[in-house]
Amino acid sequence: MDHKDAVRLKATEKYLLNELDPDQLDQFEEHLFDCTDCALDVRAAAMFVEQSKNVLSDAPAIVPAAVTIPASKGWFAWLRPALAAPAMALLLVVVGYQSLVTVPHLKQALGQPRLLPYTSVNVGTYGDGKVVSTKPGEGFVLLVRIPPDPDYTRYTADLYSPAGKLEWSLAIPAAASQDRWTVEVPGAQREAGSYSLAVHGVTGTGETRDIGRTSFQLQIQN
């Protein structure tokens, strides 16, 4: 998927609304790592959603008083007290979206964020030569492919250091039509070397089963 295809499909909006089919999802996620504009749009839209939730959750509940409001003429009638607060909240949401998504100076407002380093790994393919390069203390992203299985309601992913020590774990909700997950590993002071990721499946009855492992080389850039 190139940038023109992403714009034509409105991929950013559909990505945030989970409306992309599995093939489009894979193509768009790969495109995100190469296209700064789409990555900024996704981040801005996500910020907009969070800000919208905050604005709407902070809006005070309006309980109409037991009085008769005389009929008003003209379009200013919608500014009655019973409607003013929700209307203002809606206006703030619209203005917030325009400020974060449509204003040409979006990149300056976001401070030119840099995408995290990433690599793709397949569970069950151990030692396949994948490499990810980070700076000291920097996080990274793993695009993890897990063989789909309808028996599992969720997965757990465990990251092991070159010395075999468990460093980090993550619970991942399972989806019947999904076979790849974007896993963001938080930043930490890690040593360079061969890391492994062990994935387990958890059934609806709570039984945990080993699915497989994968590995990758972590390089630290000084």
Question: Cα–Cα distance between 209 and 154 in angstroms, integer?
Answer: 11
User: pLDDT tens-digit profile of 133-145?
Assistant: 999 999 999 999 9
User: Which range has the top average pLDDT, 30-39, 88-97, 166-175?
Assistant: 166-175
Mapping DSSP to helix (H, G, I), strand (E, B) and coil, where does residue 38 land?
helix
* pLDDT score, position 136: 93
In percent, the amount of the chain with pLDDT more than 70 equals 65
Mapping DSSP to helix (H, G, I), strand (E, B) and coil, where does residue 196 land?
strand
pLDDT band at 103 (very low <50, low <70, confident <90, very high): very low
Question: Cα–Cα distance between 172 and 150 in angstroms, integer?
Answer: 14
Q: Is residue 185 within 8 Å of 141, Cβ to Cβ? A: yes
Q: Is residue 191 within 8 Å of 217, Cβ to Cβ? A: no
In angstroms, the Cα distances linking 194 to 72, 132, 134, 214 are: 72, 10, 14, 10
What is the arithmetic mean of pLDDT over 125-140?
83
Closest residue by Cα to residue 146 from 125, 160, 166: 125
Question: Cα–Cα distance between 46 and 142 in angstroms, integer?
Answer: 20
- Please tell me the CATH code under which domain 118-220 is placed: 2.60.40.1220
* pLDDT score, position 106: 46
User: pLDDT tens-digit profile of 35-85?
Assistant: 777 776 777 666 666 655 555 555 555 454 444 545 544 444 444 554 445
Give the sign of the dihedral formed by CA 24, CA 25, CA 27, CA 32. Answer: positive
Q: b/e map of 56-83 (b: 16 or more CB within 10 Å)?
A: eeeeeeeeeeeeeeeeeeeeeeeeeeee
User: What's the predicted TM-score (pTM) here?
Assistant: 0.51
User: Which range has the top average pLDDT, 29-33, 125-129, 144-148, 206-210?
Assistant: 206-210
The DSSP annotation for 174-217 comes to --TT--EEEEEEPP----SEEEEEEEEEEETTS-EEEEEEEEEE
Q: Does residue 160 surpass a pLDDT of 70?
A: yes
Q: Which helix (H) or strand (E) holds 133?
A: strand 131-134
**Domain map of the chain by residue range?**
35-109, 118-220
* pLDDT score, position 56: 55
* pLDDT score, position 137: 92
Please list the residues that pair with 217 across neighbouring strands. 131, 194
